[in-house]
Amino acid sequence: MVAEQLRRRGIRDERVLGAMSVVPRHEYIPSEHWEEAYEDHAIPIGQGQTISQPYMVAAMTEALELKGTERVLEVGSGSGYQAAVLALLAAHVYTIESDPELFRLAQERLTRLGLVSSITLLLGDGSLGYPPAAPYDAILVAAAAPQVPHCYLEQLLEGGRLVIPVGSRETQELRKIRKCEGKAVSQVLGHCRFVPLTGSQGWKS
């Protein structure tokens, strides 16, 4: 997976490649999909949600520019896979999930795999971020927003990075936004397709 889907397609951050080489993706998907666990596509995890394709996980993670000392917020915990990758690259990860069943399964999984000391899993409206633990060095949003919720910029440290899919329900731009002097400096990393970000600052359920 790392050699063929990530390195060959341009992922260069060795820390990201290393983290994705040791996090067992099959542990984060239903057992009936284990045979395709390391293929480069999204996989259903229940509740109408998916685990992102490995390349997209790597590209979004690389864009956060993590060095190992950061506090990171992930919006959309899903199966817990992205949080597990981030936990190997940052000091602490806060990850928030709106679906109670996915939250329960992710909590059981991350506990069983011994990751709860470096990950705080939360149940709530991720479109609002998580103000109690702000500010963050980086925020990764694993769901598509109709526009960038301003609360994310407010919860970033100066110089912090936000990676988020923005667009319609069908197709989005993957944007990397850096907070510079309190303002958002944005660049488009490519096109993507994510499940919608629901909540008060996202799409209506």
- Please check whether residue 201 lies inside any domain of the structure: no
CA distance 14 to 19: 9
Distances (CA, A) of 77 to 2, 91, 143, 184, 189: 22, 17, 10, 24, 22
- Please check whether residue 167 lies inside any domain of the structure: yes
pLDDT given for residue 204 in this prediction:
84
- Please check whether residue 80 lies inside any domain of the structure: yes
Of 21, 31, 52, 77, the active-site residue reads 52
Domain enclosing residue 130, as ranges: 2-192
pLDDT given for residue 32 in this prediction:
96
- Please check whether residue 150 lies inside any domain of the structure: yes
Residue where the block lists tokens 């993670």? 61
Q: Tens digit of pLDDT for each residue in 155-192?
A: 999 999 999 999 999 999 999 999 999 999 999 999 99
- Please check whether residue 204 lies inside any domain of the structure: no
CA distance 104 to 80: 11
* pTM, 2 dp: 0.96
- Please check whether residue 166 lies inside any domain of the structure: yes
Distances (CA, A) of 41 to 61, 169, 179: 17, 19, 31
Distances (CA, A) of 187 to 67, 126, 195, 205: 21, 23, 21, 28
- Please check whether residue 202 lies inside any domain of the structure: no
| Residue 21 annotated as catalytic | no
CATH number at residue 187: 3.40.50.150
CA distance 20 to 35: 18
Q: Which residues of the chain have pLDDT under 50?
A: none
At a CB cut-off of 8 Å and minimum separation 6, what does 98 contact?
76, 123, 124, 125, 126, 198, 199
Category of 65 on φ-ψ map: left (φ > 0), alpha (ψ -120 to 50) or beta: left
Point out which residues pair with 185 in neighbouring strands.
Answer: 178
* Domain count along the chain: 1
- Please check whether residue 205 lies inside any domain of the structure: no
